[in-house]
Chains A and B, each alone.
Chain A
Amino acid sequence: MPVRPDLTTIAFAALSLALAGTAAGFAQQTPPPNDPPQRLQIDPRQLQPVDRSQFQIQDFSQLRPVLPETRERDPRMAVIDWTAAYSDRERQLAALRQSQNQTANRVGTTAAPSQDFMPQLSQRSRERIRPVHMPVLLPTAAVAEAMTTRAGGEPGMMLMTRAAFYDAAFNVDGMSMQVSGTRLINHRGNAVARVADMNRGRGSDGYRIVTNESGLTADFTRYGAAYTVTIECGSGTDPRCADETYLRAVLDRLFVAGGNPDEEG
């Protein structure tokens, strides 16, 4: 004789199915009941002593997976003060007109570069600057279109540009000089203590000049963008890298060579 369930049994079965479904939903996130005993929300790595002879990482509390989404981040763009850049350029051009009869001197000796001329950039350099969406600063030494790179390279100033950054490299009588700028911001250091840290070593003129293993680097922020100027000497006894004199002379004569304020262009 077949068993015919009554309505109560059917309702109970339906309720049970719903309950089982709910339980299954949790079971997707929680071990099934017959799994080995659980330590709820405890990472077992935090409970085990570290055996350096077997596994030499010292502190597991410092380790966790690096999530893919945190490893892909887009840099921000610094806000550019184009008004200030235009103003500086006009002032520099006025100075150029006043001194247009003077002869340009080349940087290439241990003496500081001449103060009294503006570079005449080549057509090729102007074309490379045009797509850069930040003010491009170059040293007057860049007159130095006549300078040469080291072994076998393209003669003259090596100017490499992208929309948000640029690099200009020179070789000056055995010393390399590099000027670069970027408006990309990859990290935020806005805590009060961090801002103070970031400005350690920065002078009232805005330059932070530090020595390194082969020369000196100056970094500064201007028009909202970040710039660096580096000189590097192949000789440990080259006087140009011995102190800040030569580098400061370059910094004092940086000029606004161009830049494209049209973000859409």
Chain B
Amino acid sequence: MSYQRDAVLAAIVAVLGGAALVFYPSSEPGDPPGPVVELPGDTPDDTPGDTPDGPGDLPEDIPGELPGDEPADPPADPPAEDAEPPAPPVDETGTAFTYDPPGELTRYDFRDDTEEDGFSGTGFQGSENFDRNYVFAPDMGWPLGERGLTNSQVYRPGGFQSVGGQCNASNYDYPWQDNFCETRGYGNAFCPSGSGHQGQDIRPASCSPVTGNSHMAVAVADGYISNIGSISVWLRDETSGRTYWYMHLNHWDNCGDPATLSQAQCNSGGIASICSGNALDVEVGDEVSAGDPIGEVSNWFGIGWDAGRNRCVWRATTEHLHFEVHDTVSPDGDSAASMRVPPYSSLVTAYLDRLSADPALYPEWEEAEY
């Protein structure tokens, strides 16, 4: 009985083995990847039968080279025929997160509903070392405690190069847009023009003047607070050594009227004399962990002397977080140089991480060679 079973099994295996050889011709180890072969048509009708049992089932009029002509390394995990692009992840509001590519600044002029190349400037377009998707801070977290929207504060509603108010719904919707290198007079070695916006503007989950909600900025990495400037908070990343700048967080509580300040007081040291409480969640030297609160996103921009009105006034921007990544780039491998680097791809990566997105949705980037 066992002989009969063995013989039957041997016959089955023989047939399968032969068939497998026909359909899966071998390739030698180390073969270069073969040419891409595109089968004609999109429908199953153009392809081999469902139960191939010999060469006769192969199509005879396939253009190009067949795998057997020049063996190719098979893909490690070939996609199914009917594979759909991975669905975009959804945020906590159930909204699908989408983003425009790095380096593409807004072209849309809300004032006359037109589009124009270079309307808001030219973004970082990549270089020999860093393509425009390059993620400078791949291990960085997301700097807000909830969803956020990266886009321009100048060229969208509420900005001085636009119309409407900052709480316009379009400002609080996806897709994200890059605004590093947006037209400014600030020096920026990564911008094609040599100057431009030095960070990324991020609106919080809602427009606080309307909703009354407060939104917190949080630490993107473990580290310490290395500086609190007049309108910025700096976080030194304990691991990478990068420094992240958070600007326009609400710095002070219990502030009086700046109009009480003289011009000299207004120009130097005046804030401390009219404000008495620290509104931030941190102080210089504090050690923080990723996710710890830093402060509330606001429109804080300090004070200034208004010559026209001859008085000291509050300065304000839109409700947003201006976020910068300060990193080191070496021109020779031996020495270090500090630079503000494009943050958008790093933020996209952090946000996709936060939303547990499909890996296929991440920006493509390559490690620069040392």
Q: Give A residues with C-beta under 8 Å from B.
A: 2-5, 9-10, 12-13, 15-20, 22-24, 26-27, 29-31, 33-45, 48, 55-60, 62-66, 70-73, 75-76, 78-79, 110, 149-154, 158, 160, 162, 164-165, 167, 169, 173-176, 178, 180, 182-195, 197-201, 208-215, 219, 221, 224-228, 230, 232-240
* Residue B289 lies at the interface, judged by CB distance under 8 Å to chain A: no
8 Å CB interface, B101-139 against A: 101, 127-130, 133, 135-136, 138-139
Q: Give the residues in chain A near B14, CB-CB below 8 Å.
A: 12-13, 15-16
Among B21, B82, B96, B349, max chain A CB count under 10 A is at B21
Among A63, A173, A187, max chain B CB count under 10 A is at A187
Among A33, A44, A165, max chain B CB count under 10 A is at A33
Q: A23-B17, A44-B81, A237-B267 are in contact. List 20 more A-B contacts (CB 8 A).
A: A2-B4, A13-B13, A18-B17, A22-B21, A37-B39, A40-B74, A44-B83, A55-B96, A152-B283, A190-B333, A193-B127, A194-B331, A198-B189, A228-B338, A230-B227, A230-B229, A232-B229, A234-B231, A235-B270, A235-B303
A153–B331 touching, CB < 8 Å: no
B368–A37 touching, CB < 8 Å: no
Q: Give the residues in chain B near A183, CB-CB below 8 Å.
A: 336
* Residue B170 lies at the interface, judged by CB distance under 8 Å to chain A: no
A27–B75 touching, CB < 8 Å: no
- Which B residue's beta carbon lies closest to that of A134? B336
Known contacts A16-B14, A176-B229, A234-B271: A160-B305 contact under CB 8 Å: no
A3–B7 touching, CB < 8 Å: yes
Q: Shortest CB–CB separation between residue B276 and chain A, in angstroms?
A: 8
How far apart sit A164 and B361, CA to CA, in the bound complex (Å)?
35
How far apart sit A171 and B64, CA to CA, in the bound complex (Å)?
71
Q: How large is the interface on B (under 10, 10 to 19, 20 to 34, 35 or more residues)?
A: 35 or more
B336–A151 touching, CB < 8 Å: no
Q: Give the residues in chain B near A185, CB-CB below 8 Å.
A: 328-330, 333, 335-336
* Residue B277 lies at the interface, judged by CB distance under 8 Å to chain A: yes
Query: 4 tightest CB-CB pairs across the interface, nearest first?
Result: A23-B20, A37-B47, A174-B269, A13-B10
How far apart sit A224 and B106, CA to CA, in the bound complex (Å)?
39
* Residue B326 lies at the interface, judged by CB distance under 8 Å to chain A: yes
Q: Give the residues in chain A near B175, CB-CB below 8 Å.
A: 56-57
* Residue B72 lies at the interface, judged by CB distance under 8 Å to chain A: yes
Q: Give the residues in chain B near A60, CB-CB below 8 Å.
A: 85
Known contacts A4-B3, A44-B83, A178-B227: A236-B304 contact under CB 8 Å: yes
Set B11, B190, B234: member contacting A197, Cβ < 8 A: B190
B335–A221 touching, CB < 8 Å: yes
How far apart sit A237 and B236, CA to CA, in the bound complex (Å)?
29
B368–A187 touching, CB < 8 Å: yes
- Which A residue's beta carbon lies closest to that of B10? A13
